[in-house]
Amino acid sequence: MDTNRRVNAYINRIREIREEHNLTQRAVAAYLHVVTRTYCDYESGRIRMPIDRMIRLAKYYNVSMDYITGLTNVRGHFPG
């Protein structure tokens, strides 16, 4: 999978998961300790989400990093 497709996969995935949990961008931003604008930029692809925040999201949603990044469609569970 090329870089652009991977980026698009995680952008779509983080929005999908947030919406499935009926969360606002503001709520997820607060959980990640970023301003809402920053989280909006993650979902739109304007800026890339740092790995530590991506890990925090995977843990919050209890899904694997492979799922968050779009490498698999199997949700799995966050290890630990």
Q: Give the pLDDT confidence of 25-78 residue by residue, as tens digits.
A: 999 999 999 999 999 999 999 999 999 999 999 999 999 999 998 888 888 888
What does each C-alpha distance from 23 to 1, 4, 6, 71, 79 come to in angstroms?
29, 26, 24, 23, 23
The dihedral over CA atoms of 58, 63, 68, 69, expressed in degrees to the nearest 10, equals: 110
Enclosing domain of residue 57: 3-68
- Per the structure, the count of domains in the chain is 1
Which CATH number characterizes residue 24's domain? Answer: 1.10.260.40
> What is the pLDDT at residue 71?
87
Task: Give the mean model confidence (pLDDT) for residues 14-20.
Answer: 95
Residue 78 lies in a domain: no
pTM: 0.85
d(CA 43, CA 4): 14
